[in-house]
Structure 1
Amino acid sequence: MSQPDASPAPQDPPAVPAVWAPPSAAPFGTPTSAAGAPAQPPGAPQGWSAPPAGVYAPPPGYAPAAGYPVASAGPGALYGPPAPAKRGGVLGFTALALALVATVGASLVAAIASFNIGLGAGREVVSRPFTGDFDWGVLTPVRDWVLLGEVSFWVGTALGVWALIQGIVAIVTSRGRGAGIAAVVIAALGPIAFGAVVQGFLTAGLAAGTGIGG
């Protein structure tokens, strides 16, 4: 009597091809030098060191194309270029101070000198016989006041021009723009104010010296 054939051995299931995935870490760890620092890549210059974590650095020998800015690797590169420093307003306030001295100071000195010039010249005009021509000799007793008036005029002119130029520079460079605008306006009106003050006080001095005003 024949024996039944043995059942066939079960076959292994077909192997499923494995999906390749990149390794999460080097099999033997990050290559380091003898001192424990990251190994120097080939072609890197002497003294190369790895950039800090989170900061991108171009590979050694990389050169950007012409026309592209080069950003230095560092903590500041993560937040963009630093904001420009705020400029002070010393330039504008200095121009304003010069304009005030040129306009107010020079006009005040000229007012005192003009009144005394008119007062002395008026007295000389009254004490001399009347002639049709103006005699400049009436200014001889008040020549010191005349000199003071001339000095105030030239000093005020020099300071006014200085304040005008410095005020314009302050406006253009935003270094005290408001004060610079005020300095330009005051310096421009300075000659008009100076002339009006001299005319008014000279007339008042002449009226007091000649007794026309009573």
Structure 2
Amino acid sequence: MTSVPPPENSQPVPPVTPPPSYQQPAYQQPAYQQPVYQQPGAYPAAQAYVQPYAGVPAGYPGYGAGYAAAPKSKVLGVVAMYGAIVVLVLSVIASIVVGNSVGPIADRSSTGFSYSTSTMTAEQAAAFGGTALLILAQLAGGTVIGLWALIQGIIAAATKRGRAYGVIAIVVAAAAPIISFIVYIAAIAASTPA
């Protein structure tokens, strides 16, 4: 190996001395003595367990008994039930009105009913405009309020906050569209010209 000569204008580098080492003072741990245990010659006789109290004071529950839970409010189930009943009644009324409005412009065949808005006269179209809004309100409003009553009835039944009313709300909200459709078809059948 060849050594590289230092540059011509370089100054000598002073030697590097390591920093002084840090000496941690030595600590002495105190000496601990093991306690000496002596075995007794005979063990004392076992004593029977004595309850610290003769009885539980009046008005306080006994050991392990909890306080009676406050009864839950039935308002959630009642509101759901009334909401479902309102949806059912309004939906049936709307089905009767819509069915009686659609019936006169419907064509009866041996297999069912059919109607087309393209063959309506101007008077029929004007009369059907209000019915179309009622159909929209029945579908949108009945769906939203009916689903709300159904979900609130489920929550009321599951959380025991008016369980019986919640079950009634579930049944009525689920049956409302079926009953409404049956009434709608019956109203069309009754009002369609032969």
2-structure distance, mates of 1:140, 1:186: 34
Q: CA deviation at 1:115?
A: 0.5
The 1:159/1:77 distance shift into structure 2, 3 A limit, reads same
- Structure 1 residue 147 displacement after superposition: 1.5
Q: Distance in 2 between matches of 1:114 and 1:134?
A: 14
* 1:151-182 per-position Cα deviation (integer Å, ceiling 9, x unaligned): 11221111110111001101111011111111
Distance, in Å, in 1 between the alignment partners of 2:188 and 2:132 is 11
Cα distance, 1:150 vs. partner? 2.1
* 4+ residue segments displaced more than 4 Å: 75-80
The aligned counterpart of 1:178 is: 164
SS at match of 2:69: coil
Q: C-alpha separation between the residues in 2 aligned to 1:175 and 1:185?
A: 17
Q: CA-to-partner distance for each residue in 1:1-41, whole Å, 9 max, x for gaps?
A: xxxxxxxxxxxxxxxxxxxxxxxxxxxxxxxxxxxxxxxxx
Question: Residue by residue, what CA displacement relative to the aligned partner does 1:42-97 show, whole Å, maximum 9, x if unpaired?
Answer: xxxxxxxxxxxx8xxxxxxxxxxxxxxxxxxxx75767542111001111111111
User: Cα gap change, 1:192/1:151 in structure 2, threshold over 3 Å: closer, same or farther?
Assistant: same
Q: Distance in 2 between matches of 1:162 and 1:137?
A: 38
- C-alpha displacement at 1:117, in angstroms? 2.8
- Alpha-carbon contact 1:114-1:145 (below 8 Å) kept: no
Q: Give the count of matched residue pairs.
A: 125
Q: Secondary structure at the match of 1:97?
A: helix
Structure 1 position 82 matched with structure 2 position 67: yes
Q: Whole-Å Cα distance in 1 between the matches of residues 100 and 191 of structure 2?
A: 4
Match of 2:188 in 1: 202
Q: SS of 1:118's equivalent?
A: helix
Counterpart of 2:84 in structure 1 is 99
Pick closer, same or farther for the CA change 1:101–1:172 going to 2, 3 Å.
same
Paired with 2:152 and 2:117, the residues of 1 have a C-alpha distance of: 43
Point out which structure has higher relative CO (alpha carbons under 8 A, 6+ apart). Answer: 2
Tell me: CA distance 1:135–1:117, structure 2 relative to 1, closer, same or farther (3 Å): closer
Match for residue 117 of structure 1 among 99, 102, 124: 102
5+ residue gaps in structure 2? Answer: 1-52, 54-58, 108-114
Aligned mates of 1:146, 1:205 — CA distance in 2: 17
What is the alpha-carbon distance in structure 2 between the residues aligned to residue 118 and residue 77 of structure 1? 70
Give the fraction of aligned pairs with identical amino acids, expressed as a percent. 30
Q: TM-score, normalised by structure 2?
A: 0.57
- CA distance 1:156–1:134, change in 2 (3 Å): closer
CA-based RMSD of the aligned residues comes to 2.4
Q: Counterparts of 1:201 and 1:194 in 2: how far apart (Å)?
A: 10
Q: Which structure 1 residue ranges, 5 or more long, are not aligned?
A: 1-53, 55-74, 126-132
Partner of 2:174: 188
Q: Which runs of structure 2 are paired with 1:1-214 in the superposition (5 Å)?
A: 76=60, 80-119=65-104, 121=105, 134=116, 136-138=118-120, 140-141=125-126, 142-207=128-193, 212=194
CA displacement at 1:195 relative to structure 2: 0.9
Measured after TM superposition, the shift of residue 136 of structure 1 is 2.6
